[in-house]
Chains A and B, each alone.
Chain A
Amino acid sequence: MSATISRGLDRPHEWLMAVIGDEDTVTGFLLAGIGDASGGAHNFLVVRRGSTSDEDIADAFRRFTAARADVGIVLITQSAANRIRHLVSEYRQAMPAVLEIPSKDEPYDAAQDSTLQRVRALLGIRER
């Protein structure tokens, strides 16, 4: 683990932010300027109903968290994260940081957030 942390600390470096989610959320973040396509690889995935499979999402998640070394933060909408929940909850690395963000079309449910679950458990807040 120390190795993954020190990855961020060794040298001052700039990291990309990657995003996985519905079209509007992704578009918005791209508009903000996080989009990157250098080397032909995109750092975002638009999840479309019907045409994006769970495997596509899992692939993108693995690509952003493991395969690519230039990603510092991965933003993933909750509905996308729910489709690959096992990967997200097993993910314990500090770098890159994985953040669950609300999905546009569904209300945000903090109870499903992997990190928040850990936080709440540690704070002793039990859900309902």
Chain B
Amino acid sequence: MSQRGGVPVVPSRMALTQIKARLGGARRGHAMLKKKADALLVRFRGLLRQILELKEACAVKLREALFALTAAKYAAGEDLKHVIQESVHRATLRVSTTAENVAGVQIPCFECRQRAETPSLAEGDTGGEGHGRALHTTYAGLGKGGQQVAASREAFRAALDAYVRLASLQTSFIVLDEAIKITNRRVNALENVVIPRFEETLAYIVSELDEQEREEFFRLKLVQNRKKRELEKRDAQAAAERARRAVQAFAAFDAAAFGDGCSGGSERLGLLEQAAGHDPELLPL
């Protein structure tokens, strides 16, 4: 078996434990990311509904605010809008951001911040473009329509508050959308690439190790057999030696036959040896 899509690894016991650990880690990571994705998704779904609802509510608030402004213009005159536009200096209404943590994702959250309406003189406006005091619109409509102006200011602030809340939701929406995409990509990568790869590697290592084991067994058997054969051979040689010595011993007493004993004797030796081979117990005799 070849190492197709797996991690390049030397199939060994150590590699096996390593890969097993890594597979375990990947599975744990997968489970956790899956949980994170689910948590984000739950939040996300809720967010979508909230955005739709709040968007409607905001539209209603803005409509009310615009109508309040219409009433203010009715009472204070059309000139009002020019005065407001020309008086713009420093924003008294701003937003601040704080970060909220949802399943490890930082979500910016907007909040309306109201600054002092009258910039104090101590604040030190830069250079000649100050006149904050001369131009703030607290007194807009003082002579006529002041209450309507104040009412429309309040109405627009209410609308703005709602829109700032909507902005938080919408920002969360964009951030969460992105975070969910990234998390899902990771989950999918773990699920479809990393984990299968480790599993394959694991299978490869296991099969390789099995293969090695079988080879080892075979070799063991081989060696065993060979050793046995060698032993037998050695035994046989030893027996033959003894037989030869025995024949020699007999020949010493039959000197007459010594001359042709070599030829005839060898025949007898073969017989003897044959006999001894069949019954080594007899050989030492």
Contacts and interface: CB of A to CB of B under 8 A. Distances in A.
Interface of A: 1, 5-6, 8-9, 12-17, 23-38, 42-44, 46, 72-73, 75, 92-95, 97, 99, 101-102, 104, 108, 110, 113, 115-116, 118-120, 122-123
B98 A72 contact: no
Contacts of B58: 101
A43 B92 CA distance: 13
Nearest to A92: B174
A116 B54 CA distance: 11
Interface of B: 44-45, 48-49, 51-52, 55, 58-59, 62-63, 65-66, 69-70, 80-81, 84-85, 87-99, 106, 108, 110, 113-115, 117, 137, 140, 149, 152-153, 155-157, 159-160, 163-164, 166-168, 170-171, 173-175, 177-178
Contact of A27 (B45, B85, B160): B85
Nearest to B92: A33
Most buried by B among A24, A27, A75: A27
13 contacts: A5-B175, A14-B113, A15-B96, A29-B156, A30-B85, A35-B84, A36-B91, A37-B89, A43-B91, A72-B94, A73-B167, A115-B173, A119-B52
Q: Interface residues of B: mostly helix, strand, loop or mixed?
A: helix
Contact of A94 (B44, B52, B84, B175): B175
B156 A28 contact: yes
Contact of A73 (B88, B95, B153, B173): B95
Nearest to B94: A14
Contacts of A72: 94-95, 97, 110, 167
